[in-house]
Structures are given as C-alpha cells and as structure tokens.
Structure 1
Amino acid sequence: MQARRIARELALLSISQLPPKPDRLTSQQLQSFIVAAVRTLTAEVHDSLETAAAELQRGSDRLLSSETRAVDLNSARAMVQDAVELTRTALNRMGAAIDLPEMIQLANQQEVRHYAIELLSMVQVHRPDIDSLLDECMVDWQLKRLARIDRDILRIAVAEMQYLGVPDQVAINEAIEVAKRYSGEDDYRFINGVLRRVSNRLKGESIEPEAAPEAIASQTAGEASEN
C-alpha cells in the first residue's frame, strides 16, 4: 500500500476539520487533525469487524431456520440464499477491514504524516484559488453543490497538481482511486472529468466544462440498459 496514498486518505479524513478562513495553521494544529483521522481509521476497523461478526451470526441463524422452520423446499431455498448473501457481505466487509491495520501502521510513519500535513496546509492556504479553478471547469454546476467528500477529493488533487509538483496524471489517478473508496458509486467518473479539465486549464489548453454529476449518472445508466 503506497505511503502517499495513505497520506491522501489521511488528509481527506482530516480536511473537514479545517477552519473556513484560509489562515495558516500551526504544525501542532495540523498534527492534531491527523491524529483524529488515525483514530477514525482505528474505529472503522472495530466497526467493520463487529458488523461482519453480526452478519455471520445472522447467516448462521438463517441456515438453522432453513432446517427447522422451513415449511417447503422453496422457503428453505430462500433462507439458504439469505444466509449465503449475509455471509458474502460479511466476508467482503472483513476483506476491506484487513487493509485498515496496514493503513494505520503507515499513518504513524513520519513520511506519511508529513505529506498529509503538507496537503492540508496547501488546501487551507490556497482554498479560494483552488475552488475558483474548479468552478471554472464546471458549467451549470457549482463546487458547493457537490458532496463534501467529492469537493475535498478534488481540492487535494488540484493542490497536488498546482502547488506540490505532482504530475497531473498521477494526481488524477490517485484521486480516482480515493473516490472509488470513499465516494458514491459513479462519482469517480465526474471527478476524473473535472480534473482532466483542470489539467488542460493549467496547461493553457481550451476546455469543455464538465457536465453535472446527474448527467453522468444518467448516461452511465443508459449505457448499462443498452448492454
């Protein structure tokens, strides 16, 4: 698991704690935000495992019910299917939780924390300019209308491209991966489109502003129905 990707996720989990005014924050303040983010990840591990255990228990109960309470073959089959789905969900949840301890361990490394703090600092100091640039790359839509998590993913990516010297394609790809983990099902498509237009704008190329998320969702649904 890449150290910088963990740093981006820490910054994303911390960014909501930033004050609204673009004032410079002390290193101690920024460190406290990161500590809170690590605690959030730790709590997520416990919650995921507890939920998975509960789902496994429910699956076991459904299997037992299929043997003792089913009145016919169809009802038994339905109960078994419910048990299988609950077990599958629990295993998927446990699989996701397996990555979290590694994230927490990496989050405590100095290199990871340093980059997370650098990201937070750049977003905080340059937020007005970052938000203005993002708004310019969207028509019939505004940054403030996006989900908070999507706004923050976009801000972090722009901060990397414009102020930290990260290659545009790297920043875009990383934002997409973070969006797949934390955003809505198809939101990463919208984020990808906006950031590509931001990249073109920074290079001085002409751009076509990104469509609203609903339009992208409708297009995706249409493509799925055609297939």
Structure 2
Amino acid sequence: MQPRRFARELALLSIGQLSKKTSTLPAQDLETIVTAAVRSIAAEVQDALEVASTEVQRGQDLLLDSETRASNPEDAKKFVQTALEKTQTAINCLGNALQIPEMVQLSNRKEIRSYTIELMSVTTQHRSEIDTELDEAMVSWQVKRLPQIDRDILRIAVAEMKYLGVPDRIAINEAVEIAKRYSDEDGFRFINGVLRRWVTRFLKSSSEASTTIAHSPDAASSS
C-alpha cells in the first residue's frame, strides 16, 4: 500500500480519538496513531457483534413463537441474515486491523506520520465549513446523521481537495476504496455520489468563477 493511501486510512481510523485536542496532533508519534486506529477498529467490531447478537436473539424468539402461533418465519430469517452480515463486517474489520502493523513496517514511516497528522489537523480545523458544504451537497440529508466512518471519509476527502490540493479524481477514488474496506456497498456508492456533487457545486463552480474574473474586462484593465 502506498504511504499516502495508508496515511488516509490511519487518519480515518484515528481521527475520532486523537482530534479532540488539535494542538497536540503534531506531537503524536506513529505508534500512538496506530494504537488509536486499532482501538477504533476494535470498537467497530464490538458494535457489529452486539448488533449481530441482538438480531440472532430476535430471530430465535420469532422462530420459537412460530411453533405456537402463526408468526412469519420470514421475519426471523431477516434477523438472522442481518446477524450474519454484521458478523462478516466484524471479521473484515479484524482482518484490516491485523494488516496495520505490517503496513507500517513496509512503508515510509516518516511520510505516513506526516501526512496522517496533516490530514487530521486540516480536517479538524475546517470541519464546520466542510460539514456545511457536505450538508448542501447531500440536499435532504445531514452529515451528523451518517455513520461515523462514512462521515469521516467524506470530511477527509473534501479536506484533501479543498485545502491540500489533491485532484478531485484521486481524492474521490481513494475515498471510495477506503469505503469499500470499512463501509458497506450502499456506503461507498453514497460517498461517491456525495463527493461528486460536492465537486460540481463547490470545487468546479469556484474554479469557473475565478476563471471568469481573471478574464473579465475590469480585471484586464486593472492589470
């Protein structure tokens, strides 16, 4: 994995725990960042398994109930299916967590740390403005209503495009790839759509406005 791609992943996973004190971010070492990322994955695994356990119990209760009453077994199957999906999510998260130490050893540690901290710092510093623009891009939805992982993927991608000069094609592709690892199919498709609408509404419109101003008669006469 390329250092910057891995840095994006570390920033995504650790930003929730380390960005509460923005002033301390530059002092964080790579080991602390990795630890925060692993803890974040562990929390995701625990949540997924708790949901799976609840769904299995609901399915079991419905199946037992169907033995004495005319309950719908299809509902029980849906609960069990949800449990299986959540369990698979937990397994995938664990697999990702096991890859982190190896990736750190095989990559440029200095570059990973530098870009991870830069991403977290810029994203946290401009979060309010980023969220406002994302809310507009989502039209009838709000950032705060999204799952935390999807929320931070969107924020980091916008921060890269708006403040760090990353081309929109690269930022969106990277966000989608990360979403495929940590979100579901609906999640990465949704993220792709939101980011493309944000680019059209805020990035391209801003660029076109700047070009218009640069080529206006008033601008030419004042130069």
Q: TM-score normalised by the shorter chain: which range applies?
A: 0.5 to 0.7
1:166 aligns with 2:166: yes
- Which stretches in structure 2 are left out of the alignment for 5+ residues? 46-87, 207-223
Normalised by the length of structure 1, the TM-score is 0.60
Instruction: Report if the CA contact (8 A) 1:176-1:188 is conserved.
Output: yes
Cα 1:141–1:97 shift into 2, 3 Å: closer
Instruction: Report if the CA contact (8 A) 1:30-1:117 is conserved.
Output: no
* Counterpart mapping for 1:1-227 below 5 A: 1-18=1-18, 24-29=23-28, 34-37=33-36, 39-40=38-39, 99-106=99-106, 109-201=109-201, 202-204=203-205
Cα distance between partner residues in 2 of 1:187 and 1:163: 24
- Which stretches in structure 1 are left out of the alignment for 5+ residues? 48-88, 206-227
Cα 1:123–1:41 shift into 2, 3 Å: closer
Determine helix, strand or coil for the equivalent of 1:165: coil
CA shift at 1:138, angstroms? Answer: 1.1
CA shift at 1:101, angstroms? Answer: 4.4
User: How many aligned positions are there?
Assistant: 159
Cα distance between partner residues in 1 of 2:151 and 2:139: 16
CA shift at 1:183, angstroms? Answer: 0.8
Cα distance between partner residues in 2 of 1:124 and 1:30: 18
Cα 1:192–1:42 shift into 2, 3 Å: closer
Give the fraction of aligned pairs with identical amino acids, expressed as a percent.
59
Determine helix, strand or coil for the equivalent of 1:140: coil
Instruction: Report if the CA contact (8 A) 1:161-1:167 is conserved.
Output: yes
Cα distance between partner residues in 2 of 1:169 and 1:42: 27
Residue type matched to 1:11 in 2?
A: A
Normalised by the length of structure 2, the TM-score is 0.61
